[in-house]
A and B are shown apart, each in its own frame.
Chain A
């Protein structure tokens, strides 16, 4: 080895050491080093243990399934990536059938993967907010076609009945997401600007989840980054405005505009108050992203917490944990009667809820 090589080697190690220090410094100063789950100033009231018990598990093979329909005895699963595919199974998870959905009269769609399927027997719906299209077909025939003048662009849609839908869309005039009703008969499209209230930008601060509750015939919209949900009737008239457990009433988000792309993006990691949710019966089930005062962080990280609210009174009832399965939290869940279905990555689980433990 030459003398200059030795010199180079020591110089290179010096450079590496310096750069390592830079990286360690960046890491130490970054939020990664002290990741903390936001702890709200509220308490959770946990239901007795064994309120919810895991009964059966089905390996789906891939993690891109979501629950697209649920009836007393049937479970329908759709796939985010293969939109023509529908999986049907029963509560025992033994009998699984693969169904191929046909789209008729719609040749090409720009982003086919934006199709979202909903199965509400006797119909199923395939909804695409950018095409835009709402297709409908009979369950058992599995052929979806256009059936109404659906010309409104939207970001989320849920069927109310067979000819009307609740939409969330981006309103140019309001510069914000708004809710609207789309119907097969007049008035076809009816927005209601009085429900969503923007704070800062019109995207993230009003982002949330849209549900339709069949039993109560009410539309529910739940904000993702703050502690509020709204209950509306079938005509999108606001009935109630309720708060969830936590106290974040102003969305804790930072968003910035990318001017050259004319788009908005979140810049810091936001505090997600409501991650996923579901409605069933008179209840609203929310998977919250916030720790309560009476919870251990370790426990919170190993479970998915579900808070249960009574939609008729806007009251918090209790919470329960769904333990992670194979170290995976849940990405989707739905409830019917005393059964809870959840997707942990590539596994579908059926839980039973002990009804005598529910305080009415």
Chain B
């Protein structure tokens, strides 16, 4: 048991650069997908958000702010120099989304829907778990990033 655990952590350490890369691209994909499915029909998204009791007053602003923020974070994650900031931002955004679902599920008298694309077909509980998963993924990404080889571009040059 101990040995497999050790093997797994060694595997992650060995391939940390690739794994950080994969995590970043997963986030980029998620954010771009989410942003564009919202922007495709901003009007509908805005109406849906105004149905949510938590953000009803800010729906006009948020309908644009949320997808734009998602795109900006995706750009940050794409540029190696800004990647760490991007990961912190991803963590924060996923944290807010998760908290939002928690509040809606526990305190709202009715449960509105305001998510786009394929995420629309997910139930709130699945969505909650999905978000927690991505929040933890960001944390994992940050810690692996800390262990990234300083001479990361060395072999690119060689």
Contacts and interface: CB of A to CB of B under 8 A. Distances in A.
A binds B: yes
Interface of A: 2, 4-5, 8, 11-12, 15-16, 18-20, 22-23, 26-27, 29-32, 35, 256-261, 265-269
B57 A29 contact: yes
8 smallest A-B Cβ distances: which pairs? A4-B146, A267-B50, A23-B99, A19-B95, A15-B92, A256-B47, A258-B44, A30-B54
A257 B47 CA distance: 8
Nearest to A256: B47
A329 to B, nearest CB: 12
A5 B95 contact: no
B47 A16 contact: no
A243 B57 CA distance: 33
Contacts of A8: 142-143, 146
Contacts of A256: 47, 50
Contacts of B56: 30-31, 267-268
Interface residues of B, number: 29
A15 B139 CA distance: 11
A22 B50 contact: no
A304 to B, nearest CB: 16
Contact of A31 (B47, B53, B103): B53
A261 to B, nearest CB: 7
B39 to A, nearest CB: 13
Nearest to B89: A15
Contacts of B139: 12
B8 interface: no
Interface of B: 41, 43-44, 47, 50-51, 53-58, 88, 91-92, 95-96, 99-100, 103, 107-110, 139, 142-143, 146-147
Contacts of A257: 47
B146 A5 contact: yes
Contacts of B58: 26
A223 B133 CA distance: 46
Nearest to B91: A15
A266 B57 contact: no
Nearest to B147: A2
A269 B109 contact: yes
Given A8-B142, A12-B91, A23 B47 contact: no
30 contacts: A5-B143, A8-B142, A11-B88, A12-B91, A12-B142, A15-B91, A15-B95, A19-B96, A20-B99, A23-B96, A23-B100, A23-B103, A26-B54, A26-B58, A27-B54, A27-B107, A29-B57, A30-B54, A32-B103, A256-B47, A256-B50, A258-B47, A260-B41, A265-B47, A266-B51, A267-B50, A267-B51, A267-B56, A269-B53, A269-B109
Nearest to B94: A19
Contacts of B51: 265-267
A16 B93 CA distance: 10
Contact of A260 (B44, B50, B91, B142): B44
Contacts of B100: 23, 26
Nearest to B110: A269
Nearest to A11: B88
Contacts of B53: 30-32, 269
Contacts of A5: 143, 146
A5 B44 CA distance: 42
A260 B54 contact: no
Given A22-B96, A265-B47, A269-B53, 5 more contacts: A5-B146, A12-B139, A19-B99, A261-B44, A268-B50
Contacts of B142: 8, 12
| Residue from B56, B107, B108, B139 with most neighbouring chain A CB atoms (10 Å) | B56
A27 B58 CA distance: 12
B103 A267 contact: no
Contacts of B146: 2, 4-5, 8
B91 to A, nearest CB: 6
B51 to A, nearest CB: 5
A12 B143 CA distance: 11
A236 B3 CA distance: 82
Nearest to A265: B47
A35 B109 contact: yes
A2 B150 CA distance: 15
B92 A18 contact: yes
Given A8-B143, A30-B56, A267-B50, A19 B108 contact: no
A258 B114 CA distance: 13
